[in-house]
């Protein structure tokens, strides 16, 4: 389209109209043609027109051309500066957007609210708290802090940089809190895992007379999944339906994810089936939900179904199914899937490596573990010393029995990370290497690293393997008195095993009666010890306690029968065998 000419001169007003039309239509081809015509006439350098041409080119996907023109302008205004910054933010070149700001200041062009909002977005993407705080100070000095757009961007920035107090302070100082402001606050809390704080915002919104929109509901539902607040999630689900948001794809996916994270897989699957559009996000939420709950087989079936639909499979899905297999103890299946994924050209990321390393730990395969470790070193992830990966590597080597490699990995980087100390201590404890376990414990204390429940379990396991009853009892007592830790079933069962191996069955019975009388595993441990030491009286109490728990476990009947037989109490043994046969017959009938 030719640009109008009046009295031998290009009509600037007509040019403005064409530029605005290009911006509205986002017609890149027409924008370039318009720019070329104006270049040929010299009008591109017109002070007013040039500052409108820059945003036209930026918005019409011609950022390099826009930047070239920008440099040729003799006078640049806030509009052209901000447009160029916005273009670089949108294209992902956040640092270049920030680098333009000092040049704008040198050009003595005063920034406006839109400029600050754009720069704050760049800081958020880069998690650049320092520059963000500098911009915040300028915003305050220019009395722009009441601008809701700037305020919302500041809230998002501070949450992204995990400066939660500052985020809340900005929110509290906003003169007007719009739904966008609340969304920034609720979404920020949910993003950093503070589900309770996110949900508390609902009351504040209601007091202000605001109803959540679809974005708020997505954040609220995510918060419910974080803190496993099922009832609140169901209440929000009902409100979503009331307000007509159930057809929104983002809300629907958030509902599936919420139910899956709360462990309600039937509800998650039911919600998934009712979605108007089942996209990759909803499939991922459901499949990973099954995997997280240890339903690896179901996760794999859904994964195969998704593959048959021809939808692209991302790394999150592959990693999720591997996690499901790892949780089920099916490391071989996880490793097979790991190979299939790479055959399809998908490279493992950090989460994939974490999940496959967990699977290797389940397999206790040193050769496979070494292959994965070598691949990790040579991969683009290349973070063997990154905390979580390093911890998992130490744990894997320990479970595979490669204690020397586990120790080398542990010594690679000095750390106060309790998880890594625990991984190595448990590895030594499993192998019965009590000297190393207690040596590490002493080093922990020297470094003022406070032990946790896993640390004490490693120490008790070492005592159990070495038969150190007095030491074990002392540590068990110290859990509460010295370390303010509460023993779990695992700690009690470890102590029962220790006492049982040492033949101190009376003490084991007293411990069970006193604290964990409903612990099925604990009574089974005691029953096994009673058979070893031929203690019929304690064995009868253990067997009776197991029967009271209504857990139909054949092994308990077999152990009790052996206890009676070893004591030549043949009639009692026959009665227990008869009970076992009736139990097995009942199980067969149920199976039929």
pLDDT digits (tens, 9 = 90+) for 302-355: 998 998 888 788 888 899 888 888 888 888 888 899 999 999 899 898 889 888
Which pair of tokens denotes residue 435?
Answer: 């000297």
> What is the distance between the alpha carbons of residues 122 and 94, in angstroms, rounded to a whole number?
5
Residue 57 pLDDT greater than 90, yes or no? no
Residue 382 pLDDT greater than 60, yes or no? no
pLDDT at 9: 43
> What is the distance between the alpha carbons of residues 454 and 443, in angstroms, rounded to a whole number?
16
> What is the distance between the alpha carbons of residues 111 and 529, in angstroms, rounded to a whole number?
79
Which pair of tokens denotes residue 469?
Answer: 């009853």
> How many residues would you count in the chain?
592
Residue 50: phi and psi, rounded to 5, are -60, -40
CB-based burial, 91-127: b 16+ in 10 Å, e otherwise = eeebebbbebbeebeeeebebbbbbbbbbbbbbbbbe
Q: Are 5 and 43 in contact (CB under 8 A)?
A: no
Exposed (0-12), middle (13-18) or buried (19+): which is 304, by Cβ within 10 Å? exposed
Where residue 22 falls among pLDDT bands split at 50, 70, 90? confident
Q: Are 265 and 293 in contact (CB under 8 A)?
A: yes
pLDDT (mean) for 261-269: 94
Residue 42 pLDDT greater than 90, yes or no? no
**3-state helix vs strand vs coil in the chain, percent to 5:** 75, 0, 25
> What is the distance between the alpha carbons of residues 248 and 253, in angstroms, rounded to a whole number?
9
- Closest by CA position to 376, among listed 401, 395, 357, 394: 357
Question: 224 Cβ partners below 8 Å, 6+ apart?
Answer: 195, 199, 230, 232, 233, 236, 258, 262
Q: Are 357 and 393 in contact (CB under 8 A)?
A: yes
Q: How many CB atoms lie within 10 A of CB 55?
A: 20
How much is the pTM?
Answer: 0.69
pLDDT at 380: 60
Q: What percent of the chain has pLDDT over 90?
A: 55
Residue 147 pLDDT greater than 70, yes or no? yes
Residue 362 pLDDT greater than 80, yes or no? no
C-alpha torsion sign, points 290, 294, 298, 300: positive
Residue 197 pLDDT greater than 70, yes or no? yes
Q: Which residue has the tokens 């708020």?
A: 216
Out of 318-332, 366-380, 478-492, 506-520, least confident range: 366-380
Strands (E), 30-88: none
Q: Are 69 and 57 in contact (CB under 8 A)?
A: yes
Where residue 72 falls among pLDDT bands split at 50, 70, 90? confident
Which pair of tokens denotes residue 513?
Answer: 């009666």
Q: Are 101 and 120 in contact (CB under 8 A)?
A: no
Out of 12-16, 223-227, 449-453, 505-509, least confident range: 12-16
pLDDT at 458: 93
The helix (run of H) or strand (run of E) holding residue 435 is helix 434-446
Which of the 8 DSSP states describes residue 45?
Answer: G
pLDDT at 587: 56
Question: 279 Cβ partners below 8 Å, 6+ apart?
Answer: 249, 253
The average confidence (pLDDT) of the chain is 87
Coil, strand, or helix at residue 264?
coil
pLDDT at 537: 95
More confident call, 36 vs 342: 342
Domains, the chain, in order of start with CATH, read 488-592 (1.25.40.10)
Q: What percent of the chain has pLDDT over 70?
A: 91
Where residue 366 falls among pLDDT bands split at 50, 70, 90? confident
Which of the 8 DSSP states describes residue 298?
Answer: H
- Closest by CA position to 213, among listed 189, 231, 186, 194: 186
The helix (run of H) or strand (run of E) holding residue 425 is helix 418-430
Residue 6: phi and psi, rounded to 5, are -130, 120
> What is the distance between the alpha carbons of residues 282 and 275, in angstroms, rounded to a whole number?
9
Which of the 8 DSSP states describes residue 313?
Answer: P
> What is the distance between the alpha carbons of residues 196 and 560, in angstroms, rounded to a whole number?
49
> What is the distance between the alpha carbons of residues 462 and 346, in angstroms, rounded to a whole number?
42
Task: Give CA separation, 11 vs 8, 37, 64, 569, in Å.
Answer: 9, 13, 26, 114
Kindly report each contact of residues 464-468 with a partner whose C-beta sits within 8 Å and lies 24 or more positions away, as own/partner.
464/494, 464/497, 464/498, 464/501, 465/429, 465/432, 465/434, 466/432, 466/434, 467/498, 467/501, 467/502, 468/434, 468/498
Q: Which residues pair with 6 in a beta bridge?
A: 9
- Closest by CA position to 120, among listed 146, 139, 141: 139
Q: Within its chain, how far is the Cα of 51 from the centroid?
A: 45
Where residue 586 falls among pLDDT bands split at 50, 70, 90? low
């Amino acid at each position: 389209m030719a640009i109008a000419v009046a009295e031998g001169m290009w009509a600037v007003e007509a040019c403005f109209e064409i530029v605005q039309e290009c911006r509205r239509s986002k017609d890149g081809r027409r924008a370039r043609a318009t720019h070329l015509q104006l270049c040929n006439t010299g009008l591109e350098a017109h002070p007013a027109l040039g500052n409108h041409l820059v945003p036209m080119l930026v918005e019409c996907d011609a950022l390099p051309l826009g930047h070239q023109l920008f440099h040729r302008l003799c006078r640049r205004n806030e509009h052209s500066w901000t447009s160029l910054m916005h273009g670089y933010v949108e294209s992902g070149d956040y640092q270049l957007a920030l680098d333009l700001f000092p040049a704008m200041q040198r050009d003595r062009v005063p920034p406006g609210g839109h400029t600050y909002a754009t720069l704050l977005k760049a800081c958020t993407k880069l998690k650049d708290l320092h520059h963000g705080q500098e911009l915040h100070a300028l915003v305050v000095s220019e009395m722009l802090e009441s601008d809701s757009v700037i305020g919302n961007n500041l809230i998002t920035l501070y949450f992204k940089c995990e400066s939660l107090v500052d985020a809340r302070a900005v929110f509290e100082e906003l003169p007007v809190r719009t739904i966008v402001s609340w969304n920034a606050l609720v979404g920020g809390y949910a993003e950093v895992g503070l589900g309770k704080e996110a949900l508390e915002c609902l009351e504040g919104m209601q007091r202000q007379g605001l109803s959540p929109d679809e974005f708020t509901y997505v954040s609220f539902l995510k918060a419910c999944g974080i803190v496993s607040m099922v009832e609140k999630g169901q209440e929000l689900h009902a409100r979503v339906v009331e307000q007509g948001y159930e057809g929104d794809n983002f809300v629907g996916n958030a509902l599936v994810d919420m139910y899956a994270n709360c462990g309600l897989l039937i509800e998650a699957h039911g919600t998934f089936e009712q979605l108007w559009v089942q996209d990759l996000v909803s499939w991922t939420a459901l499949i990973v939900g099954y995997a997280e709950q240890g339903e690896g087989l179901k996760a794999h079936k859904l994964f195969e179904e998704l593959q048959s639909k021809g939808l692209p499979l991302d790394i999150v899905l592959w990693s999720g199914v591997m996690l499901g297999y790892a949780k089920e103890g099916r490391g071989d299946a996880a490793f097979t899937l790991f190979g299939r994924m790479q055959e399809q050209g998908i490279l493992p990321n950090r989460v994939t490596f974490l999940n496959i390393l967990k699977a290797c730990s389940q397999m206790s395969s040193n050769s496979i573990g070494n292959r994965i470790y070598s691949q990790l070193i040579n991969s683009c992830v290349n973070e063997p010393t990154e905390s979580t990966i390093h911890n998992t590597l130490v744990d894997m080597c320990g479970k595979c029995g490669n204690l020397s490699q586990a120790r080398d990995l542990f010594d690679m980087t000095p750390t106060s990370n309790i998880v890594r100390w625990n991984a190595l201590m448990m590895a030594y404890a499993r192998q019965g290497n009590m000297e190393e376990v207690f040596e590490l414990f002493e080093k922990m204390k020297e470094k003022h690293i406070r032990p946790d429940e896993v640390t004490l379990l490693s120490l008790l396991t070492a005592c159990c393997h070495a038969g150190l009853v007095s030491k074990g009892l002392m540590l068990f007592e110290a859990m509460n008195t010295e370390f303010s830790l509460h023993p779990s079933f695992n700690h009690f069962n470890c102590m029962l095993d220790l006492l049982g191996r040492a033949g101190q069955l009376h003490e084991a019975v007293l411990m069970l009666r006193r604290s964990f009388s409903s612990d099925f595993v604990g009574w089974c441990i005691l029953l096994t010890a009673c058979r070893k030491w031929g203690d019929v009286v304690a064995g009868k109490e253990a067997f009776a306690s197991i029967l009271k728990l209504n857990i139909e476990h054949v092994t308990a009947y077999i152990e009790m029968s052996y206890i009676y037989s070893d004591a030549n109490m043949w009639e009692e043994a026959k009665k227990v065998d008869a009970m076992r046969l009736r139990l097995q017959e009942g199980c067969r009938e149920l199976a039929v």
